[in-house]
Structure 1
Amino acid sequence: MSTSPNLQSDIPSQSQPDAPANLKLPSSRFIFWLVLCAMVLLASNMRAPIVALGSIAPVVQGALDISETQIGWLGAVPMLTFALGAFISPTIGKRFGLENTLITMIALLTAGMVIRSVIPTWIGFLSGTLLLTLAIGFANTLAAPVIKQRTPNHIPLITGLFSLTMTVSAGIVAGVVLPLSEQFGWQWALGGWSILGLFALIIWVLLRLRLGSSNHQPIKPLAAGEKAPSHISMWRTPFAWQIAVFMGLQSLLFYTVASFLPSIWLSKGLSAVSAGQMASVFQFMAPVAILSLTWLVNRGRPIQALAIFAASLNVLGVLGLT
């Protein structure tokens, strides 16, 4: 991963289809920093709201007077809405534009964080959780195309910072949300993070106003004698299904552990603060894994072997919790 991007490169013209002909396009340096800030703020909202609930689930359960089954559903909601968001977001993104769709989703995400804090009932908390996790499901799918279209020469750098921000923000929230709830109340501890959503919304609106929307991409005409590329159906490709199942299972495992790890440690006798700290350790191990994986891949290690090794570590980790 490059740490000193070439900021003099120009973004392809098709990523700015809405720009008027007489308007000077922003410089590549400005585009780089604007997209970077937008992605970092978006990433800071994409795991923290989910992880925060896991760290104070017993507090929320007691405050809302709900059953263990109901608190369990709150932990299961993200996987369902992520799947729905991933399925429908490409079509909506193409129809209304990536930036337009993401701005709407950030607004819904922020609204969801506020709703589940200001309406302290089971229905209010469930509604807010459904709203914010569906928005995160959209963002999971649409963030990468924005990076690719807006900063094609800095994809590894911005993608890496995007992933790192998600992990670091989740780790910080997991460790501090319980002390904050004891100091200010659980509603402020969960809803206060919506300020990051407001900052993200402002930056994304600025990005949309300055760069336009990346929908209505022009189609490159075929040269004389050139054949149209054949389209491969992912639905009929076994390898695509294998990847989908593998990624789906690892996402299911991650969000299950992220949601319930503090509760598991509480049941084993740890204090609430120690359980939250364990959740932070879980989140902070992700950058270590990412850097190690990058090093191993660059040294030519086979991807299949690394995937099997990672899955084996998951099995050992789960067994260690029993």
Structure 2
Amino acid sequence: MTDPRPRSLWRGRLLALVGVVLVAFSLRSAVAALSPIISEVQADFAVPTWVVGLIGTAPPVCFAVFGIVTPTLERRFGLERLAAASMLIVTAALITRSLAGDAATLLLATTVLFAAVGVGNVVLPPLIKTYFPDRVGTMTALYSALLAMAAFVPPLVAVPVADAAGWRFSLGMWAILALLAVVPWVTLVARANVARAQAPVTVDLDAPAPGVLGRLPRLALAWALAGTFGISAASVYACFAWLPVVLVDIAGVSHAEAGALLSLFGAMGLPWSIIVPILITRSRRVGVVYAAALIAGLTGVAGMLIAPAAATILWVVLLGTPQALFPAVLVLIQLRSRTHEGSVALSGFAQSVGYGIAALFPLMFAVVHELTGQWQPVLIVFGLLFLATIPTGLIVTRPRTIEDEWEHRHGTW
């Protein structure tokens, strides 16, 4: 049984700690750096609107596809090798994108970049479970906080850096962090036997059974976690795509104010990313997180429907609160699995389904608005999305693992 007593984060596992930090930041900085300076790129060469649209759609689609593929890759290569390889590909893709001379190269490099990020998304939660089983809450808080920071820091610095040194440097500079992220995992791969002997884990780290991922669609717990991930991701992608337009049209704010309010929405993910993992691991009060997300989300939608201009800042803060579900799922992937292969498969399944849902919602919002000519029906759809936390929360709050559920229904895991 794993020793429950926490030890120093860096004692015997400093490389893993540095690796998690660098990978976590690279996963989002790679994604968020292009859109603020796309006009500068278009000034150098033609980037059609449809290419910009594909680039905007690519992240959730790539994340969904590689959520399915990554568990299979993990069985062949292992977590550490995948982490190193994904960061090496991110580095190469960032450099290629910064050197692009046409829209096709820009799109191809960005797609490869998001594919590698999709692999990194899946392997980080199991790596935390493997190297930090006694610090799951702390490490997940650190990991998700870095993701949140990396989502809004690059957009803040992209334009000033592009103005000072050009858009190519603004895009390419993030390759330095990604390349540094390769080093800890390559080192750990080189001394894998020693590192695993030092890590306080007792689970079997041999190649997992190939049928594990295929079992998850038959488990309600896996679907509930995937649905929760989808609710959080869909709300974020939909708001980043449409919230400024909605605020200008129905709340009467200026475009500059709408941009500031969108930044406020994005920043709401940071405090929750720190609070939620620690709250769940220490008190196991998962239901509180789900209830807060549901109540805040529905209140924000109601406010936007009834009196959008009366307390716009409050409504945006409330709409940003369901982002708390994202770090909740990251930590629950580890708490709702008891084996290495279960953790990897659950991470891949939840992210694949979740990002698949997220890819649909911005398009769905556009279709609903096109059919009705109003934003109120779109907001009602948003409210229905938050209502889905009720069935998913009822399932996830039960203290059991996917292995327990499988054994209860189907026999030996």
- Tell me, yes or no, whether TM beats 0.5: yes
Structure 1 gaps of 5+ residues are 9-27, 221-229
Is 2:309 the partner of 1:308?
no
Which of 142, 153, 159 is the equivalent residue of 2:140?
Answer: 159
Which of 165, 188, 196 is the equivalent residue of 1:184?
Answer: 165
2:189 is matched with 208
Is 2:50 the partner of 1:69?
yes
Residues 63-212 of structure 1 mapped to structure 2, 5 A cutoff: 63-212=44-193
- Give the drift of 1:176: 0.9
Greater mean deviation of Cα atoms: 305-314 or 132-141: 305-314
2:366 is matched with none
Tell me if the contact between 2:28 and 2:147 (Cα under 8 Å) persists in the aligned partners: yes
Q: TM-score, normalised by structure 1?
A: 0.75
Aligned AA (2:218): R
2:233 is matched with 251
Post-superposition CA distance 1:190-248 (Å, at most 9, x none):
1111100111112221222233487983499xxxxxxxxx9993212345334323422
- Pair 1:37–1:231, CA change in 2 (3 A): closer
1:54 is matched with 35
1:17 is matched with none
Aligned AA (2:215): S
- Give the drift of 1:314: 6.9
Instruction: Provide the rounded CA distance (Å) in 2 between the counterparts of 1:231 and 1:190.
Output: 36
Relative to its length, the structure with more helix (as a share) is 2
- Give the drift of 1:115: 1.1
- Pair 1:256–1:49, CA change in 2 (3 A): farther
Post-superposition CA distance 1:77-106 (Å, at most 9, x none):
001100011101011111111111111111
Instruction: Provide the rounded CA distance (Å) in 2 between the counterparts of 1:206 and 1:120.
Output: 35
Tell me if the contact between 1:99 and 1:204 (Cα under 8 Å) persists in the aligned partners: yes
2:219 is matched with 237
Aligned AA (2:205): Q
Which secondary structure does the structure 2 equivalent of 1:46 belong to?
A: helix
Aligned AA (1:90): P
Structure with greater contact order relative to length (CA < 8 Å, sep ≥ 6): 1
Instruction: Provide the rounded CA distance (Å) in 2 between the counterparts of 1:238 and 1:289.
Output: 26
- Pair 1:295–1:29, CA change in 2 (3 A): closer
Greater mean deviation of Cα atoms: 155-164 or 192-201: 155-164
Instruction: Provide the rounded CA distance (Å) in 1 between the counterparts of 2:45 and 2:289.
Output: 46
Instruction: Provide the rounded CA distance (Å) in 1 between the counterparts of 2:24 and 2:187.
Output: 17
Residues 249-288 of structure 1 mapped to structure 2, 5 A cutoff: 249-258=231-240, 270=255, 280-288=263-271
Instruction: Provide the rounded CA distance (Å) in 2 between the counterparts of 1:200 and 1:42.
Output: 6
Tell me if the contact between 1:54 and 1:262 (Cα under 8 Å) persists in the aligned partners: no
Tell me if the contact between 1:75 and 1:260 (Cα under 8 Å) persists in the aligned partners: no
Instruction: Provide the rounded CA distance (Å) in 2 between the counterparts of 1:231 and 1:73.
Output: 29
Aligned length: 288
- Give the drift of 1:76: 0.4
* Sequence identity percentage: 27
Instruction: Provide the rounded CA distance (Å) in 2 between the counterparts of 1:172 and 1:88.
Output: 30
Q: TM-score, normalised by structure 2?
A: 0.60
Which secondary structure does the structure 2 equivalent of 1:120 belong to?
A: coil
Tell me the C-alpha RMSD between the 2 structures. 3.7
Post-superposition CA distance 1:57-86 (Å, at most 9, x none):
333344332232221111100011000111
